[in-house]
């Protein structure tokens, strides 16, 4: 199937009132595992790379080459997404190497700086015909490759202004979750943000560790993309633990790939994305 852009996936999620999973992967087997799940459940996905993932892959160029090739041969729609892009230089490099969706994260900066830098990032994305995600408020917690500080909830009035002045395609919001394996979703705040941003696709970061009920209710309240990283990495590492044959690691890697696919498939179904691809 031809590789797709983030805007196409978000439009489908908005029409169908479901959330597209954004799976952060840091090696080939993890990427293959989430694609196994996506194809098995006939679901669209974002195949995502943050700064730590890019480093582990060997750079933006290698991650893009692998991500694009996997997306092109997949039987379901796959967008190759830069997660938590910290500056314009990284966004430009990602565009140059073929990423089809971008996130600029200025959430740790003061509001006016975040506005100004997000506007510049949105202009880059618009010129390239690529969707841009931004973050307002700040999702705290800890995750390799993600700059975090103390969580700051997203204010609906500020979100309205931010969206109007930046023209972003989607907005990552801070509604109680955290990067890592923690968080409770403030559903009332999700609803207020959805109204304030006129049904702009809202993104939930820190989807790992959130209760099944909270994830379902968050989608019903207006979340249209959910990022999942820690759960995948924990499943992969757990499957490898004690399973590696000193002479041939391939069996252990296949087992870890399967463990990732199980987690990814569960999240696909939970978010309502099954059968949407």
Spatial separation of the C-alpha atoms in residues 163 and 111, rounded to whole Å: 13
- Asked if 83 is an active-site residue, the reply is yes
**Given this model, what pLDDT does residue 242 score?**
66
Within-domain flag for 225 = yes
Binned at pLDDT 50, 70 and 90, residue 179 comes out as low
Helix H or strand E encompassing 31:
helix 28-41
Question: How many domains does one find in the chain?
Answer: 1
Within-domain flag for 277 = no
**Given this model, what pLDDT does residue 181 score?**
60
pTM here is 0.93
* pLDDT value at 142 more than 70: no
Helix H or strand E encompassing 257:
helix 250-270
Structural domain for 101, as ranges: 6-270
Catalytic residue selected from 61, 83, 105, 214: 83
Within-domain flag for 66 = yes
What is the sign of the dihedral through the CA atoms of 30, 36, 38 and 41? negative
Half-sphere exposure of 178 (CA within 13 A, CB side): 13
Within-domain flag for 275 = no
Binned at pLDDT 50, 70 and 90, residue 9 comes out as very high
Within-domain flag for 276 = no
In this structure, what CATH number is given to the domain that contains residue 112?
3.20.20.70
Within-domain flag for 78 = yes
Spatial separation of the C-alpha atoms in residues 117 and 222, rounded to whole Å: 26
Within-domain flag for 1 = no
- Nearest Cα residue to 263 out of 236, 241, 240, 232: 232
């Amino acid at each position: 199937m031809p590789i797709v852009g983030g805007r196409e996936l978000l439009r489908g999620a908005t029409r169908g009132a479901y959330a597209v999973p954004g799976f952060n992967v840091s090696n080939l087997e993890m990427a293959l595992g989430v694609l196994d799940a996506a194809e098995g459940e006939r679901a669209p996905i974002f195949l995502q790379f943050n700064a730590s993932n890019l480093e582990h892959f060997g750079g933006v160029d290698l991650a893009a080459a692998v991500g694009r090739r996997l997306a092109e041969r997949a039987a379901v729609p796959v967008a190759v997404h830069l997660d938590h892009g910290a500056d314009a230089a990284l966004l430009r490099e990602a565009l140059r190497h073929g990423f089809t969706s971008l996130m600029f994260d200025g959430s740790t900066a003061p509001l006016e700086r975040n506005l100004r830098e997000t506007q510049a990032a949105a202009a880059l994305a618009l010129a390239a015909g690529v969707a841009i995600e931004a973050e307002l408020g700040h999702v705290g917690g800890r995750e390799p490759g993600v700059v975090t500080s103390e969580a700051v909830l997203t204010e609906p009035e500020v979100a309205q202004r931010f969206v109007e002045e930046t023209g972003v395609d989607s907005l990552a919001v801070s509604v109680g979750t955290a990067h890592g394996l923690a968080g409770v979703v403030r559903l009332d705040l999700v609803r207020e943000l959805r109204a304030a941003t006129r049904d702009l696709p809202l993104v939930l970061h820190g989807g790992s560790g959130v209760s099944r009920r909270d994830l379902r209710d968050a989608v019903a309240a207006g979340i249209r993309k959910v990022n999942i990283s820690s759960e995948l990495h924990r499943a992969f590492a757990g499957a490898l633990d004690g399973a590696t044959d000193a002479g041939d690691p391939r069996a252990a890697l296949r087992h870890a790939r399967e463990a990732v696919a199980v987690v990814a498939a569960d999240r696909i179904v939970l978010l309502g994305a099954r059968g949407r691809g």
